[in-house]
Structures are given as structure tokens and as C-alpha cells.
């Protein structure tokens, strides 16, 4: 119960509990001193520490009446002496729980700090009961802005100025003035005013660290506002308020000044955290921060400020005006507005500054324990870290905030195309980051969503020569497959917590398609293709929506296209490559056969013919049938490359296996399964656009003509229904298309005869029905 007390409740509660125990102690001492006079004949001292009964409460019936004041004092003293035993035990237990309940929160030991904290918690987000959708503090907007204006005056003292900076930040990032563009611009102007006199912020009447703290608060206020605005921009389908959109060009104009200040502050902080003794070469940004006393005073403020400053630095940062070859150019002019989240270029980074940011972020995400103090090198205090998907008004100062939730969004902006083009990113530093990812692949879903985004950007934006480096390429493939496996494991868990697995697939599949398209070490591509194919088939089974199914089938089709290119290059890759390609196709065929079987069994179990699940199963079945039809053609191409008859048994085994699968589908008892099989055959014939494709398709479907005629015959022997008429019509269309695509070939006449035979069968059955 104590752990749920508000902060201010502890102070009076603590006083009451201490008073109870003090009374009990005083009463015990007095009773002990009077034991001689109150002992019974046996010398037994009967103290009230036994059973909890009514005798343990003072009784005033026998108190002599000598005036009201006297009676009251006597009764009070006796009650003090005879508090119930259970009351005293309860007071002691409550006191024993207090240290654990309050923890290390300083607000429980400082009444003024507790008052401010409770006021913030109680009134910051309290809705207005008379105006839904608005906060209670909005009606005091004028007073709050007036207070900010007074506090941020250049003549204000440091204590008032710090309070004004904190208040302005809270007002701008809490939604209190949402919809008021004039108020937002006014406060931003007030926050920007001290920047003009930034170097002159000095208070000789105060300690050296006071002016440093004011500078940190000022830079953190601008960083918080920028991160808050970008949180709107990065949310999917979010409407950005006009008052914050109007700040974007102002951020862009002030980035040249703020960027230098932010980087300098992070450099000072890193030197303090790493305990670097660089007094000779270190021109500190903050005065006297080299002093242990000053740095210790600024440490809490720096721990709170560095995460938001780091993120603000990276948001839409651009390289300084040099290209990858060191040539000078106007980076801002060549920069596409579509490549920037806000449409405005922000902080311009030189190569040395970029390397510092990259190293700082890498240290934060993969920092070890301090060897002497057993603590993190760069500690994290209560910091507002905003990343993709966060609600802008949400304060992420919870104890569960993790370092990667701050740093990974930074890497998302540091691995954009513009930094690769400028030559800031090398193969080595990319490998370092990917190695960190490989060590942390076991972490939770929030890590996966952020790391996958960074990985996808690296694969998509890196130059061609990066993937020519075998170590980098293999590391990228391993990470991509590892993330896919993690996502598949989440999808198999069927847990509500893992419901977002489909959202992680799109960037992963984009990365996988890019890898298959750009992967250079072709001697390893066959194993990569097999891995992506197998995991693609696994995801097809898990797909629960048409959208996710389309994404998965897209990656499988991309792998098939890559296999086609490999087959074209097979003569240059050696005999081993051809053997591997053949093994890939045989493995794929086994997976497709199992997938087809599972889809058909699932369709049989569903009685509702119009359910969404049934429709999804039919789509999966159609995809697997199309793949089965195309496999004999690919195998035939491999056979032609080998130029001998050693692979003939394998080819004919594959052909027979695929033919048997198709006949099983076409003769299934479910008419929808039959219709899907016929429609896929028809679409495959229509898609063939050259003589070579036509010959392969005609040869394969020719093996199924007997089954197609049997379907027509069986349908005609039963009473005709709407579904059976559709099946017969699909059969006739397939036969007609076969005759059409086989023109100018020897089999044209044969297909025409089969088509006419089917027509005769239908008319004969119609005449028999009429005569009956």
C-alpha cells in the first residue's frame, strides 16, 4: 500500500508513524519505572504487551474530575501510555517498508522538490472537463507565456533563467499550446534570444558551473523541441500541426550555430566520461569542465541532456559540401527534398564531426562496464528519446528506456544515401556496426524493428563495391537471414506481443531483394538463394493477410529471377554451380508439394466458402501451383546447359512429380480447388511470350490433357450445377489456348482435335439430357 502513496503523503505519514513509536517508547519506559508499585503479590509485572484486547486502551472512567483542561491532559497522557499493541506493530512495519518503497527518489526526501513534482504530475496532462480534447492548463496559457518571457530575459538570474528554460520546454512539448501558432513562435523566439548572447552567458557572482549548467539547459531545450517536432513527422499517417511545421525552416537556419554547440558539448561530455586528461590539447566548450568539482556538478544535467542532443544532431543532418571523391559541390542543391524527412537540410557535418558522432553512438550502443566504478561509461539519466512510432507528447523518461532506443534512430539518419555518396561511410565502420547487430540479435522486438530499418538502409544505400567485399556481404546476408528467422519465430509463437511481425517483413524483404540483385560473389549466391527461398515458403504458411502474403510471394519471385540469371551464367560458374542449382530446385519442389497439400487440406476443413481464411488459402494454393508449373521449365534449361544425358533421369523425375501434383489438384473433390488449378494453367499459358516458353508450357500441359478431358466427362455425367459449368468452361479455355499458342507447330492439329472432341462430348451430353 505504501508504494502507491503520492510523494507528499510520505512526509506527514512519516511524522505520524514516528510519533506513534515515540509514544510507545515513552510509555514503556514509564511503565517499567512503575513496575515496583504495580506488581502483584507474586512480583509479576503485567504490562500491556500481550493479547490485543480492550484493556490495552486507556479507560477514563476512574479519572477524577478536576476541571476540563486537567481531564483532557490526563486522558491524553494515559492514551499515550496505552496505545494498542497492534497499532504499534503496524507503525513499525510501515516504517520498515518505507526505505524500499521510496527507493532513491530524491523527491521523497525534499519537500520543495516533492511539491514541484506532484504539481507537474497532477496538472500537466489533466484534461479540461468543460472542453474535451484540451488540457486544463491551456486556459492559463497567457500566464505561462508571460512567466516564460520574464524568466528568459537576459537580465534574469541563473536560477530564474533555468526555471524558464525548463518551463518553456515543457510547454512546447506537452501540447498545452497546440493549435496556437503565434504562441509557439513567440516561445521559440524567446528560446532563441539567449543563443545570440550564448558566449556571454556568465555569472561572476555564482560558481563556475552555474553558467555551464545554463548553457546545457539552453541547448537541451532546443534539442527537445526539434525532436518533438520530428516525432510528428516520423509517425505513420500522422498530421503534423501547422504551428510545428512552421518551425522547420527556423530549425534549418539555426542549425549552423546549434550544430557546432551540440557537437562541442558532446565532445566535452565524452572526455569527462572517459576520464581523458587532455588539458594541453583540449579546448573545452564549457568553461572549467576539466575541474573535477565542476564536472561532478554538471554530471546529472549532462546525463539528462546528451540523448536528446545526440538525436537532434542527427535529424536530417547532411554532409558538408564535398562528394565521395573529395570534390567540392553544393550538397544542399544536389540533395533531393524527398531524401529528407522534413524537406530541409539541418546540421552540416564535416568528416571529422561525423566520425565523432558515429564513434560516440557506437560506444553508447555497445559500451562495456567501467573497470573501476562498475558502471556504464556513458550513463543514462531521465532523457527524452523520441524514435519512430512514438507519440510526440509521450515522455519516455521511464526507467525501462534502453540505450538502443536512443542510438538506433541516430544511425537511421547517419546511413542515408547522402553520407555514402560523400564518402563518410566506409566498409570497415559499417562492418563494425553490423557486428554489434549480430551480437544483439537476440534482443526484443523494439530492437528488431529499429535494427532492421538500419540494416535495410545500409544494404540499399551502400555503393556497389561494398558488396564486392566478401566479409561485408556475408555479414549482411547472415544478419538478414538471422532477422528473418527471429521474425519467423515470433510469428510461430502466436502471441499478441508478437503481432507486429508482419510490419518487420517489408524492410527485411526489401533488403533481401536488394541483396539478391546486387550480391557479387556469385559462388555463394546459390546458398543465399536457397536460404531465402526456404524462409519465403515458411512465411507463406504463416501469412495471415493478403497484404503480407503478397510481400512474401514477391521475395520468392525475386529469388526465382535471380536463379534465372544464375542459370544464364551457369556455363561460366562451373559444374558445381549447376549441381547446386539442381539441388535448389528439388528442395523447392518438396516444399511446394507440402504447401500445396496443406492448403488443400485446410480448404476441405472450411465449410464457409466465402470466408477470408478460405480466400487466403486459395491464394496460397494458386501461388504454389504456379511455382510447380514453372519448375519443369527451369529444370529443362539446366539440362540444356549440361549438354549431356546424365541429368535426364532427374529431369524426367521432376517432370513426373510436377505432373502428378497437378493431376491431384485437378481431380480433387473440391470444385474450388479444381477451378484454381485450371485458372493457373490458363494464366501461365497467357503469360508465355516467346516460342521457347510456349514449347515448354505446351509440353507440360500436354501431359495433363487426359486429366482435363476426364474432368469434363465426370462433370457431364452428373447433374449440372453453376460450379460444374464453370469448371467445364475453364477446361475448354485451357484447350483452346493450347491450340492457339501451338500454331505453326506439329501439335497444332492434335490440340484442335482434342478441343473439338471436348465440344462433341458436351453436345452429346446435352442431347442425352434432353431425350431423357
Quickly list DSSP for 458-493.
HHHHS-HHHHHSHHHHHHHHHHHHHHHHHHHHHHHH
**Cβ-defined contacts of 151-154 (< 8 Å, 24+):** 152/190, 152/191, 152/193, 152/194, 154/193, 154/194, 154/197
- As a whole number of angstroms, the distance between CA 745 and CA 750 comes to 10
Report DSSP state, residue 291: S
Q: Are 519 and 473 in contact (CB under 8 A)?
A: yes
Q: From CA 79, how far away is CA 106, in angstroms rounded? A: 36
For 207, 308, 309, the CA distances from 165, given in Å and listed in that order, are 20, 15, 15
DSSP state for residue 350 in the 8-state scheme: -
Give me the pLDDT at residue 468, please.
79
**What's the CA gap between 746 and 32, in Å, rounded?**
123
Does residue 390 form part of some domain?
no
Number of domains in the chain: 5
Q: Give the C-alpha separation, 719 to 726, whole Å.
A: 13
Distances in Å between the alpha carbon of 459 and those of 265, 455, 465, 523, 566? 32, 6, 12, 20, 21
In a domain, 659, yes or no: no
Rounded to 5°, the CA angle 227-231-236 comes to 160
Residue 98's CB: how many other CB atoms inside 10 A?
16
Residue 482 sits in the same domain as residue 526: no
User: What pLDDT, on a 0 to 100 scale, did the predictor assign at position 44?
Assistant: 43
Q: Which residue in this structure is represented by grid cell 504454389?
A: 624
Among the candidates 291, 316, 341, a domain finishes at 316
In terms of C-beta density within 10 A (0-12 exposed, 13-18 middle, 19 or more buried), how is residue 67 classed? exposed
Residues 285 and 166 in one domain: yes
Query: What stretches of 287-350 show up as alpha helix (H) in DSSP?
Result: 292-314, 331-334
Q: Is residue 391 part of a domain?
A: no
Same domain, 674 and 627: no
The CA-based angle 482-486-489, given to 5 degrees, is 135
pLDDT of residue 746: 72
* Domain-terminating residue out of 464, 497, 515: 515
Cα 81 from chain centroid (whole Å):
62
**141 with 284, same domain?**
yes
What stretch of H or E contains 318?
strand 318-319
Residue-level pLDDT at 600:
92
506 in the same domain as 529: no
With respect to residue 47, please indicate whether it lies within any of the assigned structural domains: yes
The answer to whether residues 321 and 300 touch, using CB atoms and an 8 Å cutoff, is no
Give the end of a domain, one of 471, 491, 515. 515
Which residues of the chain fall below pLDDT 70? 1-85, 88-89, 91-142, 236-238, 277-282, 322-338, 367-376, 380-401, 444-445, 490-503, 519-526, 570-575, 641-648, 689-693, 744-745, 766-772
Q: What is the pLDDT of residue 544?
A: 82
In a domain, 739, yes or no: yes
Could you report the per-residue pLDDT of 83-98, keeping only the tens digit for each? 666 776 676 666 566 5
Report the interhelical angle of 501-518 vs 546-573 (nearest 10°). Answer: 20
pLDDT at 182: 84
Of 432, 513, 425, the residue nearest 463 (C-alpha): 425
Residue 121 counted as domain residue: no
Same domain, 249 and 200: yes
User: Within a domain: residue 164?
Assistant: yes
Q: CA triplet 385, 390, 394: central angle to 5 degrees? A: 70
How distant is the alpha carbon of residue 125 from its chain centre?
A: 26
Pair (161, 297) in one structural domain: yes
- Give the CA-trace dihedral at 71, 74, 80, 84, to 10 degrees: -70
Give residue 482's domain range.
Answer: 352-362+397-515
CA 552 to each of CA 367, 413, 451, 516: distance values in angstroms, whole numbers, following the listed order: 37, 27, 20, 15
Q: Kindly state whether residue 421 falls inside one of the protein's structural domains.
A: yes
Do both 481 and 551 map to the same domain?
no
Name the one residue in this structure whose C-alpha cell is 479540461.
Answer: 128
Q: What is the DSSP letter of 241?
A: P
Q: What is the rounded CA–CA span in Å between residue 764 and residue 14?
A: 101
**Are 591 and 452 in the same domain?**
no
- What lies within 8 Å, CB to CB, of 641 at 6+ separation is 567, 570, 571, 578
- Same structural domain for residues 83 and 214? no
What is the residue-wise DSSP string for 597-648? HHHHHHHHH---TT-HHHHHHHHHHHHHHHHHHHHHHHHHHHHHHH-SSTTH
Other C-beta atoms closer than 10 Å to the C-beta of 245 total 15
Claim to verify: residue 496 and residue 525 sit in the same structural domain: no
Answer yes or no: are the C-beta atoms of 161 and 148 closer than 8 Å: no
**Is the domain of 511 the same as that of 595?**
no
Q: Give pLDDT, residue 420.
A: 92
Amino acid at each position: 500500500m505504501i508504494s502507491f502513496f503520492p510523494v507528499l503523503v510520505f512526509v506527514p505519514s512519516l511524522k505520524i508513524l514516528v510519533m506513534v513509536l515515540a509514544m510507545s517508547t515513552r510509555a514503556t519506559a514509564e511503565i517499567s519505572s512503575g513496575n515496583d508499585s504495580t506488581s502483584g503479590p507474586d512480583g509479576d509485572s503485567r504490562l500491556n504487551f500481550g493479547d490485543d484486547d480492550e484493556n490495552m486502551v486507556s479507560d477514563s472512567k476512574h479519572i477524577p474530575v478536576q476541571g476540563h483542561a486537567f481531564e483532557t491532559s490526563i486522558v491524553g497522557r494515559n492514551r499515550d501510555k496505552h496505545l494498542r499493541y497492534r497499532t504499534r506493530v503496524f507503525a513499525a512495519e510501515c516504517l520498515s517498508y518505507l526505505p524500499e518503497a521510496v527507493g532513491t527518489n530524491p523527491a521523497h526526501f525534499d519537500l520543495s522538490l516533492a511539491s514541484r513534482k506532484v504539481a507537474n504530475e497532477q496538472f500537466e496532462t489533466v484534461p479540461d472537463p468543460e472542453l474535451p480534447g484540451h488540457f486544463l492548463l491551456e486556459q492559463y496559457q497567457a500566464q505561462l507565456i508571460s512567466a516564460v518571457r520574464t524568466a528568459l530575459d537576459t537580465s534574469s538570474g541563473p536560477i530564474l533563467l533555468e526555471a524558464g528554460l525548463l518551463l518553456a520546454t515543457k510547454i512546447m512539448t506537452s501540447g498545452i499550446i497546440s493549435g496556437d501558432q503565434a504562441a509557439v513562435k513567440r516561445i521559440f523566439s524567446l528560446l532563441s534570444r539567449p543563443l545570440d548572447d550564448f558566449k556571454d552567458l556568465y555569472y561572476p557572482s555564482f560558481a563556475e558551473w552555474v553558467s555551464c549548467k545554463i548553457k546545457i539547459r539552453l541547448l537541451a531545450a532546443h534539442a527537445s523541441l526539434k525532436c518533438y517536432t520530428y516525432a510528428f513527422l516520423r509517425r505513420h499517417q500522422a498530421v503534423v500541426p501547422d504551428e510545428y511545421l512552421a518551425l522547420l525552416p527556423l530549425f534549418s537556419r539555426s542549425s549552423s550555430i546549434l550544430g557546432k554547440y551540440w557537437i562541442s558539448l558532446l565532445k566535452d561530455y565524452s572526455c569527462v566520461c572517459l576520464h581523458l586528461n587532455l588539458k594541453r590539447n583540449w579546448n573545452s566548450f564549457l568553461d572549467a569542465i576539466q575541474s573535477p568539482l565542476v564536472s561532478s556538478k554538471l554530471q546529472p544535467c549532462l546525463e539528462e541532456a546528451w540523448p536528446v542532443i545526440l538525436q537532434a544532431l542527427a535529424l536530417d543532418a547532411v554532409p558538408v559540401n564535398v562528394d565521395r571523391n573529395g570534390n567540392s559541390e553544393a550538397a544542399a542543391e544536389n540533395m533531393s527534398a524527398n531524401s529528407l524527412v522534413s524537406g530541409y537540410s539541418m546540421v552540416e557535418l564535416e568528416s571529422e564531426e561525423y566520425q565523432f558522432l558515429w564513434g560516440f553512438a557506437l560506444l553508447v550502443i555497445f559500451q562495456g562496464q567501467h573497470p573501476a566504478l562498475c558502471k556504464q561509461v556513458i550513463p543514462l539519466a531521465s532523457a527524452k528519446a523520441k524514435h519512430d512510432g512514438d507519440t510526440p507528447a509521450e515522455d519516455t523518461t521511464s526507467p525501462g528506456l534502453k540505450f538502443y532506443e536512443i542510438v538506433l534512430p541516430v544511425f537511421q539518419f547517419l546511413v542515408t544515401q547522402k553520407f555514402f555518396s560523400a564518402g563518410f561511410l566506409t566498409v570497415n565502420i559499417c562492418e563494425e556496426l553490423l557486428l554489434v547487430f549480430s551480437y544483439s540479435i537476440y534482443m526484443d522486438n523494439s530492437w528488431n524493428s529499429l535494427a532492421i530499418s538500419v540494416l535495410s538502409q545500409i544494404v540499399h544505400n551502400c555503393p556497389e563495391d561494398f558488396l564486392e567485399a566478401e566479409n561485408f556481404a556475408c555479414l549482411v546476408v547472415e544478419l538478414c537471414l538471422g532477422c528473418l528467422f527471429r521474425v519467423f519465430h515470433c510469428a510461430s509463437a502466436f502471441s499478441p506481443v508478437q503481432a507486429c511481425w508482419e510490419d518487420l517483413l517489408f524492410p527485411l524483404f526489401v533488403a533481401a531483394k536488394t541483396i539478391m540483385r546486387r550480391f557479387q560473389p556469385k559462388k555463394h549466391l546459390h546458398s543465399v538463394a536457397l536460404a531465402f527461398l526456404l524462409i519465403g515458403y515458411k512465411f507463406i504458411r504463416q501469412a495471415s493477410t493478403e497484404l503480407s502474403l503478397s510481400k512474401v510471394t514477391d521475395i520468392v519471385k525475386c529469388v526465382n529471377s535471380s536463379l534465372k540469371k544464375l542459370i544464364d551464367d551457369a556455363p561460366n560458374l562451373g559444374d558445381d554451380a549447376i549441381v547446386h542449382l539442381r539441388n535448389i530446385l528439388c528442395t523447392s519442389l518438396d516444399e511446394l508439394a507440402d504447401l500445396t497439400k496443406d492448403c488443400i487440406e485446410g480448404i476441405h476443413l472450411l465449410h464457409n466458402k466465402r470466408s477470408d481464411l478460405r480466400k487466403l488459402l486459395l491464394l496460397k494454393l494458386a501461388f504454389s501451383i504456379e511455382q510447380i508449373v514453372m519448375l519443369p521449365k527451369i529444370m529443362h534449361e539446366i539440362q540444356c546447359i549440361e549438354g549431356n544425358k546424365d541429368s535426364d533421369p532427374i529431369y524426367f523425375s521432376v517432370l513426373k512429380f510436377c505432373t502428378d501434383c497437378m493431376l491431384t489438384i485437378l481431380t480433387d473433390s473440391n470444385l474450388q480447388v479444381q477451378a484454381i488449378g485450371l485458372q493457373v494453367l490458363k494464366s501461365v499459358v497467357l503469360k508465355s511470350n516467346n516460342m521457347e516458353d510456349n514449347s515448354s508450357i505446351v509440353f507440360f500441359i500436354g501431359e495433363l490433357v487426359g486429366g482435363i478431358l476426364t474432368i469434363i466427362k465426370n462433370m457431364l455425367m452428373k447433374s449440372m450445377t453453376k460450379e460444374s459449368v464453370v469448371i467445364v468452361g475453364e477446361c475448354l479455355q485451357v484447350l483452346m489456348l493450347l491450340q492457339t499458342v501451338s500454331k505453326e507447330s506439329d501439335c497444332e492439329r492434335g490440340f484442335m482435335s482434342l478441343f473439338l472432341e471436348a465440344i462433341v462430348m458436351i453436345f452429346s451430353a446435352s442431347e442425352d439430357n434432353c431425350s431423357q
